Amino acid sequence: MTPEERIAALGLVLPEAPIPVANYVPYRFAGNLLYLSGQGPKRADGTYRPGRLGRDATIEEAYEDARLTGLNLLAVAKSALGELSRIDAVVKLLGMVNAEPDFSDHPKVINGCSDFLVEVLGEAGRHARAAVGMGSLPNRMTVEIEAILLVRD
């Protein structure tokens, strides 16, 4: 089963890759590495659930947001690669959580993306990772995640 078929089997639709709203590109190749710019949990209607962990968003809500962010990262990867089966490995994620200073469960939130990538890509989805707290994120979104992928020609 291809990654695209796994996404469909999960009842999900791979969205169109978002268009950058500032002076950056959505991805950049460096040899066989594909660097994906940070993505958030943008919904199909273009909105984000606002929230700050430890104040007005739960771990469960933000976990789902991180999962959606994983889908959005794969949308960018597909636009770069044509097909997701070209991903040999997710090398590294940087997961940023919009959190109060005393919030300490950042890894539980970013697990949403990590779990999703393994569901869709299997062993190729396992990765090194950082999950850190931020004082704020664009659009007041709960999470932003960037990725580095190893790809084949």
pLDDT tens track for 22-44: 999 999 999 999 999 999 999 99
Query: 64-78: per-residue pLDDT in tens?
Result: 999 999 999 999 999
Residue 114 has what pLDDT? 98
**According to the model, what pLDDT value does residue 42 have?**
95
Q: Domain residues of the chain, as ranges?
A: 3-17+28-151
pLDDT of 21 above 90: no
Burial of 152 (C-beta count, 10 Å sphere; 0-12/13-18/19+): exposed
In whole angstroms, give the CA distance from residue 146 to residue 77: 11
Using alpha carbons, list the distances in angstroms from residue 68 to 39, 115, 118, 149. Answer: 10, 11, 14, 18
CATH placement of domain 3-17+28-151: 3.30.1330.40
Q: Of 122, 112, 102, 116, nearest to 144 (Cα)?
A: 112
